[in-house]
């Protein structure tokens, strides 16, 4: 019975993943640029952002993904430390490296931009992350997310006790995303016209 429930949940998520990806791919360039700027301004206005000394953020690499490159540049210009994910080839592990500029990025697995693992400055295990900016194809108003299904962020977030925010276009903020016990909800979902408080907030 438990196996059947897991399989049914997996099927629901996969159908939802395809649907929301189609919506995201259908956004035109001006929507993406204007929406991304509005989301960035809301992030910069968050108290959690202003107080953060070390920000962990994904690097926008996929088509129509909410752009984080301007956020990274702003963090560095304001003297914040920036950590980014590094997917290690041939593993299901996500490591974390510090960067001081976008010029340090190379192409990584799954078409992602990331620091070269051979030259990366790894984030010390004892480092205190103050804010994590999390990618997602869509989020709901409770802070749940649907990603690409690899589980990298779920495994990472399960061990991070800090404020987690998801970035999302208005069109991809849903009423409800099915969740499982291992899914980690966001504290905030930042969209173009609103900020939603997650279940953990």
pTM of the model: 0.91
Model confidence pLDDT, tens digit, residues 3-32: 566 677 677 888 999 999 999 999 999 999
pLDDT at 2 over 70: no
| pLDDT tens, residue by residue, 32-86 | 999 999 999 999 999 999 999 999 999 999 899 999 999 999 999 999 999 999 9
Query: What is the mean predicted confidence (pLDDT) over 115-123?
Result: 93
pLDDT value of residue 149? 72
What is the rounded CA–CA span in Å between residue 63 and residue 43?
21
Question: How much is the average pLDDT of 165-169?
Answer: 97
DSSP 6: H
Maximum alpha-carbon separation in the chain: 53
Among residues 99, 186, 96, which one has the least CA distance to residue 136?
A: 186
**How high is the pLDDT of residue 86?**
95
| C-alpha–C-alpha distance, residues 1 and 170, integer Å | 37
Per mean pLDDT, which range of 26-30, 76-80, 91-95, 173-177 is the poorest? 91-95
Q: Are 151 and 117 in contact (CB under 8 A)?
A: no
- The pLDDT of residue 131 is 98
Confirm if 61 and 111 have CB atoms less than 8 A apart: yes
CATH 3.40.50.300 holds for 2-197:
no
């Amino acid at each position: 019975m438990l196996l059947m429930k897991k399989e049914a949940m997996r099927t629901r998520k996969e159908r939802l993943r395809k649907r929301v990806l189609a919506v995201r791919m259908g956004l035109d360039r001006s929507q993406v640029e204007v929406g991304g700027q509005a989301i960035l301004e809301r992030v910069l206005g968050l108290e959690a952002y202003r107080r953060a000394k070390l920000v962990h953020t994904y690097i926008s690499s996929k088509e129509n993904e909410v752009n984080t490159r301007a956020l990274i540049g702003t963090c560095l210009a304001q003297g914040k430390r920036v950590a980014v994910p590094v997917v290690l080839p041939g593993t299901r592990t996500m490591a974390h490296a510090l960067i001081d500029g976008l010029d340090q990025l190379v192409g990584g697995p799954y078409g992602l931009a990331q620091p070269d693992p051979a030259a990366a400055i790894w984030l010390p295990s004892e480092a205190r992350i103050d804010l994590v900016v999390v990618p997602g194809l869509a989020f709901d108003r409770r802070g749940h997310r649907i990603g690409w299904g690899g589980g990298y962020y779920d495994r990472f977030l399960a061990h991070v006790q800090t404020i987690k925010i998801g970035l999302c276009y208005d069109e991809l903020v849903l009423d409800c995303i099915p969740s499982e016990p291992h899914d980690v909800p966001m504290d905030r979902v930042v969209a173009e016209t609103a900020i939603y408080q997650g279940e953990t907030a």
